Chains A and B, each alone.
Chain A
């Protein structure tokens, strides 16, 4: 290799006006936000939401979560034109600092399986003050028990750690499906983070 990677540094506590300005009420256009799926996007609509906890179990108020996922048919969006035509964007960004209970949230559709043998999942980047190199994790779904049992990534994990990657499903009055996925940075239920 001719060149070496530029080292990572923390996103720090003050990213919001640069990276998530509209969500936090700054007068600057957001390039990415918490809405991945417009109402017309095909598939089962859901809200993915949760909190990030530090090693003391305290909810983190300055984390930034980014997600990348396939659409309901298991395809990744490859162009702006495709996203505009389907109403599904495939990538979202949300900070934990604006919700009263410090939740992040994404309005999206449940992804389809992107490859043979893979369970449906959402890829996640977690970063915050106190994280010097962003962390990668994944969201799987509890109503996909069979696919989860066959998924090679889940299968490679110790059974007691698999549960940290499974979002819990709850119907809300009004019909929107809520998928709850909390991220624990440390502790006995520390979320599985990947070297990717």
Chain B
């Protein structure tokens, strides 16, 4: 007989004061795709399920270096940047050995994806996808090219601010996070309904910080720092 699912005392709930609502009319696609009925609470047993199993052997040696992992005959065009940061839980504990996947447009604002028809050049030396595992302190590190803005048709002359997509699992099935990192001082943020969909006071957490010293060789690349906070085993365990 299988044992009952182990519970995860203290796994923090999804904080809806931090996340965007499903229906956010300024972002038009939500109106036909966002669930309309109230979410059904689920027993904590599911929240205890662990994230999928993977290991260092899955990650290629250049997977974290987007300036080299798809190079064919040279270097990609654009501003080299380090993107570094930590993955933490709400108690400030590092989430170690967890997968971080990223994807982005190239310096001209063009995605490799076949569905992207934006009239801007592809870069033969840039795919725009990368991944790594966090270290024991929850740190991750990517070397990439600063992505360009691109038009997206949501409203007249709508342009997305520069951003890098992030996908993380954390320790639990329920700690999954898909999000986007933005750049400080981007004037398009004020006009972007996707960024604006996150509650005021929370959305600012999506903006990276300029970090001139990212630990690399001086004069080689600018640095941006972006910490991510996932649900985890909280500081205040829930009542059993």
Point out residues on A near B: beta carbons under 8 Å: 1-19, 21, 24, 26-29, 31-32, 54-56, 60, 62, 66, 68, 73-80, 82-83, 89-91, 97, 112-116, 118, 123, 125, 127-136, 152-153, 156-157, 185-186, 190-196
Contacts and interface: CB of A to CB of B under 8 A. Distances in A.
A39 B91 CA distance: 43
A90 B43 contact: no
B107 interface: no
Contact of A196 (B36, B47, B114): B47
A190 B102 contact: no
Given A4-B90, A130-B27, A186 B173 contact: no
A54 B128 CA distance: 29
By secondary structure, the A interface counts as loop
A7 B4 contact: no
A174 to B, nearest CB: 30
A7 B35 contact: no
Which 8 residue pairs of A and B lie closest in terms of their CB atoms, listed nearest first?
A18-B103, A130-B29, A91-B52, A130-B33, A195-B39, A132-B20, A18-B129, A14-B113
Contacts of B27: 10, 130, 132
Given A54-B32, A55-B31, A4 B129 contact: no
Nearest to B130: A18
Given A6-B205, A115-B4, 7 more contacts: A4-B90, A5-B177, A17-B112, A56-B32, A78-B53, A194-B39, A195-B13
B22 A5 contact: no
Interface of B: 1-5, 12-15, 18-22, 24, 27, 29-37, 39-43, 45-47, 49-50, 52-55, 57-60, 69-70, 88-92, 99, 101-103, 105, 111-116, 127-131, 165, 167, 173-174, 176-180, 194-195, 197-199, 202-203, 205-206, 227-231, 234-236
Nearest to B198: A7
A83 B115 contact: no
